[in-house]
Amino acid sequence: MTTRAESATQGVASLTVEHVDKAFGATVALADISFSIGSGEVHALLGENGAGKSTLLSIIAGLFLPDRGVLRLGGEPFAPRSARAAREAGIAIVPQEPMLATDLTVRENVTLGREPTRFGLVDRDEARRITSTALTTLGVTIDPDNAVASLSPAERQIVTIARALSQGSARLLILDEPTSSLSAADAERVLEAVRKLASSGKTIIYVSHHLAEVKSIATRFTVMRAGRVVASGNVASVSVGEMADLILGRSLEAAAKALRSPGEVLLSLDSVAGKRLPHAASLTLRRGEILGVAGLVGAGRTELCRAIFGLDTIRSGAVKIGTNDADSGRPPWQRLKSGVGLLSEDRKGEGLLTAMSVADNMTLSNLGGVSQWGLVSKLAQDKVALRLFAELGIRASGPRALASSLSGGNQQKVAIARLLFQDVDVFLLDEPTRGVDPGSRESIYRLFEALAERGKAILWVSSQPAELIRVCDRVAVMVRGRLGEMRDVSELDESRLLAAASGSATPC
C-alpha cells in the first residue's frame, strides 16, 4: 500500500490524473489530485460523502474544468470542455439510479437520442443489433423488444450500462454506486456483468461504499478524503477493515456511552416489510432511548422510516405505537396524532415549504395550536417561532423570513422545530445532520440528547458511523433491506459499523 498517489501503474495507463486542483470560490474541492488507472482495470474510487469524488468525476466527464493539472487518456492529453467532448473521447457514465424511460423498449432506451436511421426513419433492426451487441458484451440475454417496465431492478441497471456502452467508442466507464438500490442477488448479476465488461478490455472507475463488493470486483483502489488522494494500492493487499480505516482516516476504539434509563415501549416493529424495502425489520424503541440505524444508501433505511410514518405501504409485519396496534394503511396525519413525527432526509423536497415563512413551516402541522376561533393567528405563530429560535439557536431575520433564505443548518433546525411544536413522542430522524455545518451538527446532537433525557424516543438513521456512536444508545445495521440486531455502542467502533454496512461483517 502506498500513501498519496502512485506515480505509475502496471501496463499502459488508460487514465492519468496529474496534480489536479479545483475550487469553488473559497471552497477547495480538490487539491493536488494525482493517480492513474491501468488499461482494462476495474479501479475503485473510495471516500466518504464530501471527499471530492463527484467533483473529480465531473472533471473527467467534461462537466467541470480543473483550475490546474493535466489529464491523459490512453497516454494522450485529455481536456474535455463539455460532456459531449468527453463522450466523443470515450468516457461514459452510469449514474447511481437508472435513468430510463420505462414505457419504452430496451432497444429504444439504449439508442435514445442516437437512433440509427434509414431513409429518414428509425432503423429498428439496426437499433436491435446495437442493443444486442452491448448486452452480449455484458454477458446477459435480454430481449431488446421487451418493455423496460417489465424488467427487474438488476436488468434495468444492466440496460443503463448497455446504453453507456452503445455510445460507440466508450473506452472508460464510470459506474457510480451501480448496486446501491439492489438486493444481494440482483447486485451479483450486475457485478458479473461488470466482470464481463472488464474482461472485454474496458477500463472502469467503480465508485461504491460496499467494500465487500469492492474486494470482489476491483483490482486497485484510490481513497479520497477532504479533496485529496490519501492512499492507493492493490485491493488484494488490504482487508475490508483496513479500507474502512483509510476512508475514515482513523481507527477508533469503541466509544463509551453514558447509559440512559429507558422507560415504556413507544414503538415496536415485528418483521416489517414494505412494498419494495425494507424486507424485514424488527425493533423495540422505548421512552428515553436513542436507537440508531446504520447502512448504505439504498439499504432501505429511508423506506423503513417512511413505512413507520405511513408514507409507504407495509406489505407484511406489524407496527405498534405505544399500546395500540397500528394498521399498515394508517396515513401520516394519524401517525402525527399518535405522537410520531418524521424528519425527512429530503429537506427541500419533503421537509420544508421553502417558499413559505419560517413561522408557517414551524406551525403548519399543528395550526390548532396557533389559532383562535378557527383562524390562524400570525401573532401566535410569530411568538412560537421566536421561542423556537431561542431554543434551537436558529439564525433568521425574523419569523416571516422565507425558509429558502436560511442556510442549510438553519433550515434543518426549522424542520426539527416543527416536530418540537407538534410535541411528538417518537422522532423518526432520517439523516438529521445532512448538509449542516459542524457547529449546527453538534447543537442538534445536544438537542436530541436532551429530548431523550426528557422521555422522548428517537430513531436516528445515519450513514455516518461516528455520528451514530456519538449520539445513540444502541445501533443496528441495515444491509440490503434487512435490519440486524441492535448492539450497545460500547461494543462498536466506526470501522466495524462501516464494514458491517458494506455487508462484509457483523458489527461486533
| All structural domains of the chain | 265-501 (3.40.50.300)
Q: What is the pLDDT at residue 184? A: 61
Q: What is the 3-state secondary structure (H, E, C) of 423-476?
A: CCCEEEEECCCCCCCHHHHHHHHHHHHHHHHCCCEEEEECCCHHHHHHHCCEEE
As a whole number, the mean pLDDT across the chain is 85
Q: Does the pLDDT value for residue 249 go beyond 50? A: yes
Q: Does the pLDDT value for residue 382 go beyond 90? A: yes
Q: Does the pLDDT value for residue 260 go beyond 60? A: yes
Q: What is the pLDDT at residue 88? A: 86
How far, in Å, CA of 91 to CA of 338, rounded? 52
Q: What is the pLDDT at residue 87? A: 85
Q: What is the pLDDT at residue 270? A: 92
Q: Does the pLDDT value for residue 255 go beyond 60? A: no
Q: Find cell 440486524 and name the residue.
A: 484
Q: Does the pLDDT value for residue 109 go beyond 80? A: yes
CB 174, CB 465: distance < 8 Å: no
Query: If pLDDT is split at 50, 70 and 90, which confidence band does 25 have?
Result: confident
Read off the pLDDT of residues 166-209 as tens digits, 9 standing for 90 and up: 876 778 889 887 876 565 666 787 888 888 888 888 899 999 87
Local structure of 279: helix, strand or coil: coil
Half-sphere exposure of residue 219: CA atoms within 13 angstroms, side-chain side: 18
CB 361, CB 418: distance < 8 Å: yes
Q: What is the pLDDT at residue 2? A: 46
Read off the pLDDT of residues 395-422 as tens digits, 9 standing for 90 and up: 888 999 999 888 667 888 999 999 999 9
Read off the pLDDT of residues 293-324 as tens digits, 9 standing for 90 and up: 998 767 889 899 999 999 998 999 989 998 77
Q: What is the pTM of this model?
A: 0.59
Of residues 189 and 124, the one with the higher pLDDT is: 124
Read off the pLDDT of residues 268-292 as tens digits, 9 standing for 90 and up: 999 999 988 999 999 999 999 999 9
Q: What is the pLDDT at residue 267? A: 94
Across 456-470, average pLDDT: 90
Of residues 356 and 178, the one with the higher pLDDT is: 356
Q: Find cell 472502469 and name the residue.
A: 204
Query: If pLDDT is split at 50, 70 and 90, which confidence band does 13 have?
Result: very low
Q: How many helices (H) and strands (E) are present in the chain, helices listed first?
A: 16, 26
Q: What is the pLDDT at residue 364? A: 92
